[in-house]
């Protein structure tokens, strides 16, 4: 049998099994997206600009982002990335489920841990993109995603993941079960608490990387984070999560940029605000997922530097907002053009 190889930046092959694995546990949804100049009023019928059907779900999007941002577009296979990416979740036994699995595999994601649930529907997200404001509104029907239960989390696939990514589009009790097992096995967890749901305070100690937007930060911290919030106030919110045991906290602020806060003890705290890049915004869907994918790929590499990682993730997300759709808008590694880091 031919041994699969991976080619790194120096173009030197090495064994695929030597690569770190990122395991994404989360949702898989089909996105039914409508683009419209404005949102219709109650009782009003309004003609939209266009409509599309595509694969999505925060979990699946983040898995695709990890895979794409670790390898060039051609060839898009497991032998040419810097990480292995596996997805754990559930889809229904319908056409949408088959498409979801196919699209993940086309992006180089391993789907061995995605269960196909008989008699259930694949999750659905109805997305409305308001073209005048470039904002999206999403209605989620979890369907098969709710069939991923704590009892299904007995072990993680081998080799052991170097990082586990979680969101809140699956049952909270399942998320907590994954976090508990990861803690026992000393596997770092990246949590994207979206949509925002209150979880036990003690569970934050199981999280090494917390990435959330300003709305989620407001709900979970109890402090308002909006356009009027100063950098000093944002730092206090971030420190709340640091004080709960989270080492790296990242709050994405839309057009204002990204605030990051790393706590290695009171004597070694690093924080800062990265400004957003000036880009033409078409659709913000999957921008946050792209940020997380780019961040995760860097997080499993040696020499982790929170500010530098956020800088690269910010650039990847900027590419996504210039395109329509969810997974189809996520860039590949070779689409990120070289740039001079502000940290050099």
Burial 33-50 (b: 16+ CB within 10 A, else e): bebbeeeeeeeeeeeeee
Q: How confident is the model at residue 1 (pLDDT cuts 50, 70, 90)?
A: very low
Output DSSP code: residue 332.
P
Confidence label for 265 from pLDDT (cuts 50, 70 and 90): low
Quote the CA–CA distance of 106 and 63 in Å, as a whole number: 12
Among candidates 62, 51, 194, 54, which has minimal Cα distance to 128? 51
User: In the chain, helix, strand, coil percent, each to 5?
Assistant: 35, 25, 40
Greatest mean pLDDT among 1-10, 170-179, 278-287 lies in 170-179
pLDDT band at 16 (very low <50, low <70, confident <90, very high): low
Report which secondary-structure segment, H or E, holds 113.
Answer: strand 110-117
Q: Tell me the pLDDT tens digit for each residue of 300-340.
A: 999 999 999 999 999 999 999 888 877 888 999 999 988 98
Instruction: Answer yes or no: is pLDDT of 8 > 50.
Output: no
Q: How confident is the model at residue 6 (pLDDT cuts 50, 70, 90)?
A: very low
Per the prediction, the chain carries an average pLDDT of 89
Taking residues 57-68, what's their average pLDDT? 96
The H or E element containing residue 182 is: helix 172-184
Domain boundary assignment for the chain: 10-335
User: With 90 as the cut, is the pLDDT of residue 201 above it?
Assistant: yes
Q: Decide if pLDDT at 48 tops 60.
A: yes
Candidate list 118, 289, 334, 344, residue with the active-site label:
289
Fold of 10-335: 3.40.1190
Q: Is the pLDDT of residue 78 over 50?
A: no
Q: Is residue 344 exposed (0-12), middle (13-18) or buried (19+ Cβ within 10 Å)?
A: exposed
pLDDT of res. 187: 97
pLDDT value of residue 17: 59
289 is catalytic: yes
For the whole model, what pTM was predicted?
0.89
Report pLDDT for 299.
Answer: 97
pLDDT score for 79: 56
29-36 vs 110-117, strand pairing mode: unpaired
Give helix 214-221 / helix 231-243 axis angle, nearest 10°.
Answer: 60
Residue located via tokens 């961040």: 295
In the beta sheet, which residues pair with residue 271? Answer: 261
């Amino acid at each position: 049998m031919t041994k699969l190889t991976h080619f790194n930046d120096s173009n030197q092959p090495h064994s695929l099994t030597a690569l770190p694995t990122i395991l994404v546990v989360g949702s898989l949804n089909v996105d039914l997206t409508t683009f419209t100049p404005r949102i219709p009023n109650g009782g009003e019928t309004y003609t939209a600009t266009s409509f599309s059907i595509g694969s999505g779900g925060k979990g699946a999007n983040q898995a695709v982002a990890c895979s794409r941002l670790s390898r060039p577009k051609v060839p898009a296979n497991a032998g040419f990335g810097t990480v292995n990416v596996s997805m754990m979740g559930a889809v229904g036994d319908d056409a949408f489920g088959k498409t979801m699995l196919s699209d993940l595999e086309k992006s180089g994601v391993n789907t061995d841990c995605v269960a196909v649930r008989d008699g259930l529907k694949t999750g659905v997200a109805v997305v409305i993109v308001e073209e005048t404001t470039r904002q999206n509104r999403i209605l989620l029907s979890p369907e098969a995603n709710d069939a991923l239960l704590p009892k299904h989390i007995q072990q993680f696939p081998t080799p052991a993941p170097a990082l586990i990514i979680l969101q809140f589009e699956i049952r909270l009790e399942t998320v907590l079960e994954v976090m508990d097992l990861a803690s026992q096995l000393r596997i770092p967890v990246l949590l994207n608490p979206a949509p925002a749901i209150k979880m036990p305070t003690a569970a934050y100690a199981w999280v090494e990387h917390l990435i959330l937007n300003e709305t989620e930060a407001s709900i979970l911290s109890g402090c308002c984070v909006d356009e009027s919030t100063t950098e000093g106030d944002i730092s206090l919110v971030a420190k709340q999560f640091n004080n709960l045991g989270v080492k790296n906290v990242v709050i994405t602020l839309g057009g204002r940029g990204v605030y990051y806060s790393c706590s290695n003890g009171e004597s070694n705290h690093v924080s800062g605000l990265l400004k957003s890049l000036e880009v033409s915004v078409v659709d913000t869907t999957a921008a946050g997922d792209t940020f997380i994918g780019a961040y995760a790929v860097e997080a499993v590499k040696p020499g982790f530097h929170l500010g530098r990682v956020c800088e690269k993730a910010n650039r990847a997300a900027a590419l996504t907002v210039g395109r329509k759709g969810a997974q189809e808008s996520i860039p590949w590694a070779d689409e990120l053009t070289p740039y001079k880091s502000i940290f050099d």
